[in-house]
A and B are shown apart, each in its own frame.
Chain A
Amino acid sequence: MPAAANSDLILLVREPIDAPALIQYVRAASDGAIVTFDGCVRNESRGHRTLYLDYEAYETMAIAKMSEIAGEIRAKFSIDRVAIAHRLGRLEIGETSVFIAVSAPHRPAAFEACRYAIDTLKRTVPIWKKEYFEDGAVWADGELPPAPQDTASSKRAS
């Protein structure tokens, strides 16, 4: 897995995400574009009015997986800097749960890398949200991350 560069900013936070600071972080004189993704808490889920969300993470692995994503987009696209922040704990409607900023000399790479980063994050980073409604709470339907399959060589005789 490509390693993230030291310049990548990867954060899990329990306070509101400081989006302007992340944008400023990726900005450089050699960049002609910064693309951002702001994931925010919606007020409904499949017809039910959402009151708030509560996020939890396997923190050490989540940081590792987010760093891998930064490394992957750096390997795939001609980008400059990457900042990825995810918030944990209770979030109210409209608040930002995840923010990604990618800078690049030219905009196509920044758009593609930002899209790739959020799509991959939602599939592979061990973070979970519980949705609270007026009549109860449920763990959100999620995606099962792709895991290595059992193979004959890794199988142990039993």
Chain B
Amino acid sequence: MGNSAPNIRVKVLFFGRLKEIAGRGEDLLDLTEGAPIETLFARCVAQQPELARYRTSLVASRNQEFAAWSTPLHSGDEVAFLPPVSGG
């Protein structure tokens, strides 16, 4: 277990229905260097439990690129949780 103190700050963005559920479009969260996107999402769920049921129907991005849930995060990263897209 990596229980070291939070030492990085990342920006998290919500869009579409996730923004409505989260009650905000963006947030700043403190994590431990190298923590994966999965951990960031768990932190968001801790704040707003209703987000949990969208875990399997969204994709994540890190710094404007689609990213795996295991992607490690670094200070200043911008992560977004993206529901199915419906442009066009």
Contacts and interface: CB of A to CB of B under 8 A. Distances in A.
Given A129-B86, A156-B34, A145 B66 contact: yes
A148 B37 CA distance: 13
B84 A147 contact: no
- Is chain A's binding surface mostly helix, strand, loop or mixed? mixed
A151 interface: yes
Interface stretch (A13-21, A28-36, A116-124): A116-124
Contacts of B84: 141-145
Interface residues of B, number: 30
Interface in B60-79: 60-61, 64-72
Nearest to A143: B84
Given A122-B88, A139-B17, A144 B58 contact: yes
Interface stretch (A3-11, A58-66, A71-79, A104-112): A58-66
Interface in B1-59: 1-2, 13, 15-17, 34, 36, 57-59
Given A61-B61, A61-B80, A122 B67 contact: no
Interface of B: 1-2, 13, 15-17, 34, 36, 57-61, 64-72, 80, 82-88
Interface of A: 39, 55-58, 60-62, 64, 86, 97-98, 118, 121-130, 139-151, 154-156, 158
Closest 7 pairs between A and B when the two form their complex, measured CB to CB: A127-B87, A142-B84, A142-B86, A128-B16, A140-B86, A61-B64, A147-B59
